Amino acid sequence: MAVSMHDVARAAGVSQRTVSNVVNNYEYVRPETRQRVLDAMAALGYVPNAAARSLRSARTGLIALVVPDFRARIFADLAGPVVREAEALGYTVLIELTGSDREHAGAG
């Protein structure tokens, strides 16, 4: 069973909000409190839930690139720079090939 923020808070003797502040690198946490939380996280093997963070922040870190076909060189040439720039900014690109089907691309 996954370790929760509640488990970390209980082990560190702090509130869940304090654990959240440490996980999100909030600067106004006392150093000794931060270390106590980090120690509890390490001892319990706590790993932040990326899906929960995405829901809370309304950001997934994903970009969709929808192209009709890679056989047309222009789309293949477009994808490379888009992927490289997105990765440099910390995003992941999902590529959807529509096969020239406008309805499948959401344009219908």
Indicate the burial class of 37 (C-beta count within 10 angstroms; 0-12, 13-18, 19 or more).
Answer: buried
Q: Show pLDDT as tens, one digit a residue, over the chain (108 residues).
A: 788 999 999 999 999 999 999 998 888 999 999 999 999 999 999 988 766 666 666 677 888 988 888 787 888 888 889 999 998 888 889 988 887 666 655 544
The CA distance from 20 to 22, in Å, is 5
- The pLDDT of residue 47 is 87
The CA distance from 1 to 7, in Å, is 11
Q: For the whole model, what pTM was predicted? A: 0.53
